[in-house]
Amino acid sequence: MRSLHTKRLMAFGCHTAFAASALTLAACAPVASVADSAKLSVPAGYRLVWSDEFDRDGLPDAAKWVYDTGMNKAGWHNRELQYYSGPRAENARVQDGRLVVTARKESLSSAPDWGGQRYTSTRLITQGKGEWTYGFFEIRAKLPCGKGTWPAIWMLNSALVWPAGGELDIMEHIGREPGRVFSSVHTAAGHGANPAGAGRQVPDACTAFHDYQMHWTADTVHFGIDGVVHFEYNNPRTGPERWPFDASQFLILNIAVGGDLGGAVDDTVFPVAMEVEHVRVYQRRP
């Protein structure tokens, strides 16, 4: 398995502005404003094609998940500080109907691919196990908090190098701003510090479970939380530089530590965990 780019610096550039109560969209095509009343749910005519309900205790299901460890020795992008472990219950386990991804303050110096990191975590991907073009995605999760934590639920293209293949960020959260949850889209035309994105305040994101959702079609991508849309990205029909989203992508669940977006780390918060109750993928079927 080739190594994959991790999350990039996401300062939102011209696409969004962070207001006192929420992220709001600026006038940057092809982003569209979304009314507060816009709703998101499994569309009519769609059926469940892939899921993990985390109903069997132990390590994550190897038939569905792969561990991405490819940049441990060299160090992960964005100046992130974590070592992503392989199968290791201390960092990823299924227990009581939930996947628990845990970031810890510890050094696995005996690991052959250790790169000097003082924190461990896990990055689970579905590459080669589950990849999709279009669909409705729902991940029910409770997020970690604490300065320096950076959990994410997102998708990448297997075949093309980032950013040409595009990136769909269903959910990101940075622990120094508890309750600020956001979604974004990276393309060749806008990526790194300049993606398209928006979000909203979820005051209990770190104490309660919420449904993080995305509906991706050939025309648009909607992102929502608990059935309420907060961001819409439209296909401008100008080619792959702004719309590389007609090819399959795989799902990623991870907690990064520190880095350009995670920021300064408070060591007293560890261990911290992202708990996931289910991952569900629906697609249109005859």
pLDDT, position 163: 87
In CATH, what number is assigned to the domain containing residue 240?
2.60.120.200
- Spatial neighbors of 233 by CB under 8 A, at least 6 apart, are 30, 31, 32, 185, 196, 220, 221
Residue 2 falls inside a structural domain: no
Residue 9 falls inside a structural domain: no
Number of domain units in the chain: 1
What is the Cα–Cα distance from 190 to 90, expressed in whole angstroms? 37
Active site residue 167: yes
Q: pLDDT tens string for the chain (286 positions)?
A: 333 444 433 333 333 332 222 333 333 334 444 555 579 999 999 999 999 999 999 999 999 999 999 999 999 999 999 999 999 999 999 999 999 999 999 999 999 999 999 999 999 999 999 999 999 999 999 999 999 999 999 999 988 888 889 999 999 999 999 999 999 999 998 776 677 899 999 999 999 999 999 999 999 999 999 999 999 999 999 999 999 999 999 999 999 999 999 999 999 999 999 999 999 999 998 7
Q: Please give the helix or strand (H or E) that residue 234 lies within, else none.
A: strand 228-234
Active site residue 232: no
Residue 1 falls inside a structural domain: no
Residue 136 falls inside a structural domain: yes
Show the domain range for 105: 16-284
Residue 8 falls inside a structural domain: no
Interior/surface letters 167-200, b for 16+ CB within 10 angstroms, e for the rest: bbbbbbbbbbebebbbbbbbbbbbbeebbbbbbb
Query: 131, 167, 232, 275: which is the annotated catalytic residue?
Result: 167
Residue 10 falls inside a structural domain: no
Query: 138, 172, 232, 275: which is the annotated catalytic residue?
Result: 172
pLDDT, position 81: 98
Residue 32 falls inside a structural domain: yes
Please name the amino acid found at residue 39: K
pLDDT, position 14: 34
pLDDT, position 159: 84
pLDDT, position 49: 98
pTM (predicted TM-score): 0.88
Q: What is the dihedral of CA 255, 256, 260, 265, to 10 degrees?
A: 100
Instruction: Find the farthest-apart pair of alpha carbons in the chain and give their distance in angstroms, rounded.
Output: 53
Backbone phi and psi for residue 79, each to the nearest 5 degrees, phi listed first: 60, 30
pLDDT, position 112: 97
Residue 133 falls inside a structural domain: yes
- Spatial neighbors of 104 by CB under 8 A, at least 6 apart, are 90, 91, 119, 120, 121, 270, 271
